Amino acid sequence: MSDKRIFNFNAGPAALPLPVLKEIQSSFLNYNNCGMSVTEISHRSKYFDDIINDAVARTKRLLGLDDRFHVLFIQGGASLQFAMIPMNFLNNGKKADYVNTGTWSTKAIKEAEILKKDFNVAASSEDKDFSYIPENIKFTENATYVHITSNNTIKGTQWQEFPDTNGVPFIADMSSDIMSRPLDMEKFGMIYAGAQKNIGPAGLCMVILRDDLLSQAEENLPSMLKYSTYSSKNSMYNTPPCFGIYTVQLILKWLEEEIGGLAAMEKRNVSKAEFLYDFIDASEFYRATAEKNSRSLMNVTFRLPTEDLEKDFIAKAAAEGFGGLKGHRSVGGCRASIYNATEPEAVEALVKFMKSFKKEN
């Protein structure tokens, strides 16, 4: 069996750091000399206590979180959060703003509609097919929160800066760019992220929730749908996704100890993205789809002159060991997802292939 690995540009589940995969492999049958696999140990054991507590501690160090913030691990992905957020925070006449920047924002808005909650779409980039991030937004005074999707995987856009909301906290879906750069956490009442794009495998969602927002959360909800259930039990009210949390812990360790933190990670991510965008812009063959000042560092979306060429490009790229370059089925085209774990060498190899394909065509 070949151990050769491709250049993985999948949008999610996505590439994981090779050192993390090797550490999982080496300890999989006998975790920490306990005589069991990490998938067999009890979530009530000291072994798992150490894993989840270390994951929480590393999250707080990397993002500079103080004791006001709770780090939770919840199943159901980011999609469950679309409903949990309005269920917990939009009761008793409370209102929120949503900014619509693409598919995942639209889905979050739909859940608030289904629940018949009071909200306002403060801005949208739908008028230009979600190719940009709105500016000069007029937010609702005294709203409970402003919901945004920080990075839009399908359209390849990302919030470069977060606007002034007059003190209203952001709730941000950061599924595809969490831990990719430092953040001013004073702006955020809550961050949530499905793990499978930038911090782990599919199967869990990291939720970072500030005390002042948690204190407003609705308690008259089923146990598994209220945040206090998770915050009061260190995410272990029921059996959590143990293997997923273990992998997240190792990725946070890699970020902290091998990469050197989020400022170093941001520098690496900017360098990778600029290298790829600069080639695309100069090529006169490939065309980036997002407006320049809204472009994502995580998902580079682009088109070729014809759809037939795009199909040929994706097929030949796959044959050469480049995976995941097909654009989302809803928009077509091509997409290179270059998350934290994507090495600079992978981007360099992709550009070399793109040059060769252009020359042939």
Q: Which residues are catalytic?
A: 104, 173, 197
Distance CA(183)–CA(161), nearest Å, equals 10
Eight-state DSSP code of residue 114? H
Distance CA(293)–CA(296), nearest Å, equals 9
- Joined together, the tokens standing for residue 3 give 């151990």
Amino acid type, 333: G
Contacts of 9 (CB under 8 A, 6+ apart): 15, 322, 323, 324, 325, 335, 336, 337, 338, 342, 346, 350
- Joined together, the tokens standing for residue 241 give 């996704």
Instruction: Report DSSP letters for 10-28, one per residue.
Output: -SSS----HHHHHHHHHHS
Tokens 């606007």, located at residue: 163
Whether 37 and 241 have beta carbons less than 8 Å apart is answered as: no
Among 157, 108, 167, which residue's Cα sits nearest to residue 134? 157
Among 273, 259, 104, which residue's Cα sits nearest to residue 175? 104
Helix (H, G, I), strand (E, B) or coil at 41: coil
Which residue intervals of 28-102 are DSSP H helices? 46-63, 77-89
Distance CA(233)–CA(204), nearest Å, equals 16
Distance CA(155)–CA(335), nearest Å, equals 9
Eight-state DSSP code of residue 178? T
Phi and psi at residue 192, to the nearest 5° = -135, 150
